[in-house]
Each structure stands twice: as structure tokens, then as C-alpha cells.
């Protein structure tokens, strides 16, 4: 997959992340906060199971060789989804997404800089630091009332 296609797919993922909390929030009004998170993950799990069965090339048996921390992604995702369901009705989608994007970018820079989780190291240089600072400044302008 080329970089342009990957960036386009990540852009679409960003749209999905921005829309998902509002959809889950509406569902939460009908079924409850934690119930909405549970339903969201259940439907996601079923869809991913179908994808794995149709196009999957790996092996689910490999989970036996995974470290405990490599299995925490689902819990982190559940935390994120639940927090957005709680936050969006109170602070709005834009403020919540600004906080999320700022945190994601800053954390991503640290993960890259230190090469955490075994991925390649991408040093935090001046341009990247300025980019993070500008994004954080923009996020703070969006969050302020």
C-alpha cells in the first residue's frame, strides 16, 4: 500500500473517530453509557471477525505468545469510547476531538522519539515540536469558551 493511500485511509479513520462518539452518545440515551460502549464493541468485534474469516492472513493462535501488555489495546479502546460517550454531550464533539487529537499527536511524537513498542525511532526535531505546539495552541483555542 502506498503512502498516499495510507494517508487517505487514516483521514477516513479520523472522520470515523469524529462521528463515532456522537453516534454512540445517541445510542447511550436509549440504552445507557456502558451499554452503548458494550454494543459498539460487540458490533465492531462481529464485523472484524467477519473480516478475519474472509481476508485474514494471520493466526489468532498467536495470542498465546503475546505479552500481557500487548492485549491491553481493547481495554484502551473501550476506555476511549466510553470517555467520548460521557464527554461529547457535556463539552461537545469539537472540544473533545481537539483534546483527543492534541493528546494523540503529543503521545505519538514521544512514542516515535523513543522508538517505544519496538517500532522505528523518529527523533523529535524542531519542526515536529513546533507542529505539536501549534496543534496544542489550536486545540486550546477550540476548547476555550
Whether the pTM exceeds 0.85: the reply is no
| Per-residue confidence band for 66, with pLDDT thresholds at 50, 70 and 90 | very high
Task: Classify each residue of 56-85 as buried b or exposed e, where b means 16 or more C-beta atoms within 10 Å of its C-beta.
Answer: eeeeeeeeeeeeeeeeeeeeeeeeebbebb
27 against 139, higher pLDDT = 27
Write down the pLDDT at residue 7. 93
Q: Is the pLDDT reported for residue 142 higher than 90?
A: no
DSSP string, 12-50: HHHHHHHHHHHHHHHHHHHH-HHHHHHHHHHHHHHHHHH
Mean pLDDT of 49-68: 94
Write down the pLDDT at residue 140. 86
Question: What percent of the chain is modeled with pLDDT above 90?
Answer: 80
Write down the pLDDT at residue 143. 82
Write down the pLDDT at residue 128. 92
Alpha helices (H) along 32-125: 33-55, 73-91, 93-114
pLDDT digits (tens, 9 = 90+) for 122-133: 999 999 999 999
Query: Other C-beta atoms within 10 Å of 21: how many?
Result: 24
Q: How far is CA 107 from CA 38, 48, 57, 104, 130, in A?
A: 26, 26, 30, 5, 15
The helix or strand, by DSSP H or E, that contains position 136, with its residue range, turns out to be: helix 126-143
Question: What percent of the chain is modeled with pLDDT above 70?
Answer: 99
What's the chain's length in residues? 145
pLDDT digits (tens, 9 = 90+) for 67-89: 999 999 999 999 999 999 999 99
Q: What is the mean pLDDT of the chain?
A: 92
Amino acid at each position: 500500500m502506498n503512502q498516499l493511500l495510507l494517508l487517505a485511509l487514516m483521514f477516513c479513520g479520523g472522520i470515523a473517530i469524529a462521528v463515532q462518539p456522537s453516534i454512540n452518545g445517541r445510542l447511550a440515551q436509549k440504552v445507557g453509557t456502558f451499554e452503548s460502549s458494550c454494543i459498539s464493541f460487540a458490533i465492531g468485534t462481529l464485523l472484524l471477525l467477519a473480516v478475519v474469516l474472509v481476508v485474514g492472513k494471520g493466526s489468532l493462535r498467536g495470542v498465546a505468545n503475546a505479552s500481557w501488555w500487548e492485549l491491553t489495546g481493547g481495554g484502551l479502546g473501550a476506555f476511549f469510547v466510553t470517555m467520548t460517550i460521557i464527554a461529547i454531550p457535556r463539552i461537545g464533539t469539537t472540544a473533545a476531538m481537539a483534546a483527543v487529537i492534541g493528546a494523540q499527536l503529543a503521545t505519538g511524537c514521544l512514542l516515535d522519539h523513543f522508538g517505544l513498542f519496538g517500532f522505528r525511532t523518529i527523533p523529535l526535531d524542531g519542526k515536529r515540536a513546533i507542529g505539536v505546539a501549534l496543534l496544542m495552541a489550536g486545540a486550546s483555542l477550540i476548547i476555550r469558551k
